Structure formats: structure tokens, C-alpha cells
Amino acid sequence: MFGMDTMTLNKIAGAVLGTGLLVMGLNILSDAVYHAEKPEEAAINIEVAESDSTEAAKEEAPAVSLATLMASADASKGQAVFKACQACHTGEEGGANKVGPNLYGIVGAQKAHLDNYAYSDALKAMHDQQWTFENLNEFIRNPKGYVKGSKMAYGGLKDDAKRADLLAYLRTLSANPAPLPTE
């Protein structure tokens, strides 16, 4: 085909496979020779606070309201945050779906509203609800925590200010932007 006969191709494939087997064999041999025993007792014990107390501390801390965050949010900064979202989403009117749905007009839209996107069953079950600023904020903060069974693989955006900037940008992706949340 490219001037190589099958014998040459077999030699190349054999060399690649042989090298792989040699590397695996050396790895197994080195694990046997240089096996490190785990100590019976840790040299340093690190105490970690219980997760319940961490959650309680979060609940006790006075949080800034979403309305306050949105009042100072910057849509241009949110557009920069959205660049990471573009790996899975589009934001232009009539834009194609990617791994995730097109987000044009998402603020105020019904959940699982696009007919041409295969939403998770968990999100389909929420179809009678709207994407408000508040629940978009919670979803973006922790997608799997907000929608148990969500297909969204993103771990969440924990920074409140960046989330508010992103929400401000998502608001601009509409012919009729939704009014900002109030106290």
C-alpha cells in the first residue's frame, strides 16, 4: 500500500507489542523487588473536621443574597467565564446543541425545554419548572447536587461572584432578558 509489505508491518507490530510487554514486565518485577511495606502506625495523625460541622458552618455564615450579587455582577466577566462552558454548550440564538444543550434564552425557560436535546430523566421530571436565577445559581454551583441524576459532568462553580457574573451573561443571551432578582 505505501511500499511496505505485510512482513514489514508484522515486524513493526511485533516490536510495538514486545516493547509494551517488556515495560509491563519490568513494572511488575520492580514492584516485587522494591515493594514498600506500609507502616502499622502513621507517623503523623491529621485530624479532619467532620463534614456535618463543615456544612453547619456554611449554613451559619451570613451569605450575600443572589440579588445583591447580581446587582454588582459584570456580564463581560461572565462572558469570560462562559468560555469554559463552550466546551459543551453554545449560546447563540438557534445554535446547535453539543454535549450539553444550547443555552440561548435559558433564564426564564422551562427546564428540559429543547425538543432536539436528550436531557437526563431527572431533568425531564422537572420540565414543569422554570430556570430562575436562583435555581440556575444552585445548579451551576453544584449540578449533581441540584439535579440528582444529571448528565452534566461539570463539578460546579463555587465562586459566588463568578457565578453571578456568569448568570448576568446568560441573561444577555435572550431577545428579552429576564429582570434581575430582587430582595
Pairwise CA distance, residues 119 & 136, whole Å = 16
What number of other Cβ atoms are within 10 A of residue 171's Cβ? 21
What number of other Cβ atoms are within 10 A of residue 142's Cβ? 15
Pairwise CA distance, residues 52 & 73, whole Å = 31
Report domain extents, the chain: 65-172
Pairwise CA distance, residues 160 & 145, whole Å = 16
Determine the topology of domain 65-172 in CATH.
Answer: Cytochrome Bc1 Complex; Chain D, domain 2 (1.10.760)
**Helix, strand, coil % over all residues of the chain, rounded to 5:** 45, 0, 50
Residue-by-residue pLDDT tens, the chain, 183 positions = 456 788 998 999 999 999 999 999 998 888 777 766 666 666 565 555 554 444 444 444 447 899 999 999 999 999 999 999 999 999 999 999 999 999 999 999 999 999 999 999 999 999 999 999 999 999 999 999 999 999 998 889 999 999 999 999 999 999 999 998 887
